[in-house]
Amino acid sequence: MSENKKIALVTGANKGIGFEAARQLAKQGITVLLGARNAERGEEAAAKLRGENLDAHFIHLDIQDAATHQAAAQVIEEKFGKLDILVNNAGIALDAGEKPSEVSQDLLRKTFDTNFFGTIAVTQAFLPLVKKSNAGRIVNVSSGLGSLTQNSDPNWEFYEAKPLAYNASKTALNAFTVILAHELKDTAIKVNSADPGFTATDLNGHQGYKTVEQGASIITDLAILPANGATGSYFDDQGVLPW
């Protein structure tokens, strides 16, 4: 392995947009670690990419289980000594049409546990390794549904999509992007939110009209931003999104 080879970790990479982002990053010549909570699914996904001659490896990572964050960070420290790219992709959407006035505390908490609290815990566990990269990049996979500006715009294409738990968890994740980017503003690390757009995956019963290739492209772009690229911002494949 070349010492200069970049190392990327993508969470929730066993399927969907995360799997495709892992593939796109590996196609850039990056060593990609596919984080997955289920070893069988994760190993299978990594083997599929290796079958395409890509440098891809499974790493056990459950967003909800801090012990797996620590164990994975230790493995990466020992094997690579750094992490260049962290893609916080793993996410859940549990809302099933509940009115915001009636949504349960349980659904809200479960959603936030993964999409917000767990994602922050993962980032905190890997940040010391990202600081060892000379060009660290953190991509928080948000959603256009996390934009308060778009949620308030009756002319927005998805104005009627108001699942409170999911949307609010992504708004909170966007706050993490802005505030972590501020903490790291005097470092080489760039932190951005990505909106893949409405993409056909298990998350939405494959109703999305974008392919995973299209959905993952903004994640890949933000993961390999050049030194003069943005930080503390929010993008889809058309450009900057309003918070």
Ligand X SMILES: NC(=O)c1ccc[n+]([C@@H]2O[C@H](COP(=O)([O-])OP(=O)(O)OC[C@H]3O[C@@H](n4cnc5c(N)ncnc54)[C@H](OP(=O)(O)O)[C@@H]3O)[C@@H](O)[C@H]2O)c1
* Contacts with ligand X, residue ranges (CB under 6 A): 11-12, 14-18, 37-38, 41, 61-64, 89-92, 114, 141, 143, 195-196, 198-199, 201-204, 208
Q: Which is nearer to ligand X, 37 or 131 (CB)?
A: 37
d(CA 48, CA 148): 38
User: What is the spatial distance between Cα 182 and Cα 23, in angstroms, rounded to a whole number?
Assistant: 30
Please pick, among 27, 48, 131, 170, the residue that the annotation labels catalytic. 170
16-27 and 39-50 helices, crossing angle to 10°: 30
> 134-144 b/e with 16+ CB inside 10 Å = b?
ebbbbbbbbbb
CB of 128 to ligand X, least distance (A): 21
Catalytic residue check, 170 = yes
Q: Looking at residue 133, what DSSP letter applies? A: S
Q: How far is the CB of 186 from ligand X (least distance, A)?
A: 29
Q: Is 100 helix (H, G, I), strand (E, B) or coil?
A: coil
Which residue number, 3 or 160, has a Cβ lying nearer to ligand X?
A: 160
Helix, strand, or coil (residue 235): strand
Euclidean distance between the first and final Cα of the chain, in Å? 40
Query: Could you tell me the smallest distance in angstroms from the CB atom of residue 105 to ligand X?
Result: 19
Of 6, 15, 159, 166, the catalytic one is: 166
Q: How far is the CB of 228 from ligand X (least distance, A)?
A: 27
| Nearest to ligand X of 136, 208 (CB atom) | 208
Question: Mind telling me the catalytic residues?
Answer: 166, 170
